Structure 1
């Protein structure tokens, strides 16, 4: 898996750089380029692997992989703003609003979001019908039923009279983190016109495992390794998987979700080995 992940990281970075190189030079383009630099590219990897499982060539899947990473980068830029999570460190570097300004960060996020949808119109992806399916799916995943909705629930929870329970946290994270992961994992069948149900189940389980691992890292992680501030959730008194389940309980829950994610891939047999490895990786990582 690691070799494939490394190759995807290089391909996607080149695609994003190429897209931004075509924009007018200046602070906006510089901030966009900065925002999309680095990262694990797990969502892009999901796109590329789900496409491979459905007979889609890398050259067709690459614009979709770049699109999901541009969308993800926009969400991080906006989440880091003082009005949201108020973070000053991302991927080991100052956040965009710290390096430039809040206004530039807002505009860079806006531009990355529109860039994502523009990338989904690339004829290299295939038929217009396939591209339309992708646009509709990403719009759902990114908006008021998915990622943005989840962020809204997160903000509301900060002033709620009682902490969230486990069901509410799963609902929140299913939008904030899980929706974009589900888009990425189902991109392959969406391009091919195949049934995305199995990969959607895989992604829902893997997304929960990913978020539980993030909550664990917020307690146990090292700031240098993670590239972002740790201990913020506890300091803010936020309910998390760890605060509700304890560290051991959270680790068990994460492993259970990974097991369920792997089971969802049964129909793909050995060809889904990289996706099984990814599910295990998300709970073993230290960044």
Structure 2
């Protein structure tokens, strides 16, 4: 069931993404080509799928809100383009293809990331169905998650932490910003567009917090156990850059135990929700057992 849902939802997302980013003139064509190169490279599209699944679990169709639902994927893609740069993780491959800066150069890759980041908010504001209040709330949720309070803050702390041991408590702070913030924003946007009650929002936010943490734990495990064929990039980058991870702190067995505990907490958060959370619960198991 989940496999078919993910396939259909990914196709729904990518069909819309493919319609974006046509250059308004010939002079900007290379920039737009660079942006589209990374945006359409592939990936699981988990974040917009998560927003879509939240809305559907609460009985709301995501179709009229595509601009807002899919905007988060542009933010995620921009972060990958910048993460891959020589000044950051210095990766040559992403999703089995050359990274953006390897194809277009460092300068254009930086600008492509900047373009994807800002265009995401333009998209959100162009939706004609959400109320002005909903749009403002969604923009605020995504801006906080993507900015210095969230993803950028976590990435900065990640850079500062290279080459030194950091305790598990600090590692969780790092990953709640670097990875978890966008997962939580995906949940929050779905809740805003569904006009969920405060009680329902609290349960879903706990779920989203645990899900983001789970994604990072399994990501750390895959960096040790995965292959380039599975991951689409070179494994072992965390060890190469001497980063603290859940595997380096807890060992592989301990990290897997932590992943299972986090997965259980995510499911418990949904126990008292009235909506159909079957897909959301299945996503937890999917992350625990994922291979890429």
TM-score (norm 2): 0.94
Give the drift of 1:121. Answer: 1.3
State how far apart, in whole Å, the 1-side matches of 2:33 and 2:202 are.
39
Aligned to 2:280: 275
Q: Secondary structure at the match of 1:121?
A: helix
Give the drift of 1:73. Answer: 0.2
The answer to whether the 8 A contact 1:51-1:61 is kept is: no
| Long gaps (5+) in structure 2 | none
Aligned to 2:98: 94
Q: Secondary structure at the match of 2:21?
A: helix
Q: Is 1:127–2:128 an aligned residue pair?
A: no
Point out 4+ residue stretches in structure 1 off by more than 6 angstroms. Answer: none
Aligned to 2:194: 192
1:59-78 paired onto structure 2 within 5 Å? 59-78=63-82
Number of residue equivalences? 285
Q: Secondary structure at the match of 1:55?
A: coil
Aligned to 2:33: 30
Distance 1:100 1:54, change over 3 A: same
Give the drift of 1:55. Answer: 2.9
Q: Secondary structure at the match of 1:120?
A: helix
The answer to whether the 8 A contact 2:65-2:127 is kept is: no
The answer to whether the 8 A contact 1:44-1:184 is kept is: yes
Q: Is 1:205–2:210 an aligned residue pair?
A: yes
The answer to whether the 8 A contact 2:58-2:276 is kept is: no
Give the drift of 1:125. Answer: 4.2
Q: Is 1:21–2:22 an aligned residue pair?
A: yes
Give the drift of 1:270. Answer: 6.6
The answer to whether the 8 A contact 1:126-1:191 is kept is: yes
Q: Is 1:146–2:150 an aligned residue pair?
A: yes
Q: Secondary structure at the match of 2:55?
A: helix
The answer to whether the 8 A contact 1:63-1:125 is kept is: no
Deviates more, 1:115-124 or 1:82-91: 115-124
Give the drift of 1:213. Answer: 0.4
1:116-265 paired onto structure 2 within 5 Å? 116-158=120-162, 162-194=164-196, 195=198, 196-265=201-270
Distance 1:242 1:20, change over 3 A: same
The answer to whether the 8 A contact 1:43-1:181 is kept is: yes
Distance 1:248 1:269, change over 3 A: farther
Deviates more, 1:59-68 or 1:45-54: 59-68
The answer to whether the 8 A contact 1:31-1:100 is kept is: yes
State how far apart, in whole Å, the 2-side matches of 1:9 and 1:251 are.
27
State how far apart, in whole Å, the 1-side matches of 2:126 and 2:204 are.
24
Deviations 1:127-171 (A, max 9, x none): 111111000000100001000000000001125xx4111111100
Q: Secondary structure at the match of 1:3?
A: helix
What's the RMSD between the two structures over aligned residues? 1.4
State how far apart, in whole Å, the 2-side matches of 1:51 and 1:198 are.
14
TM-score (norm 1): 0.95
Distance 1:126 1:55, change over 3 A: farther
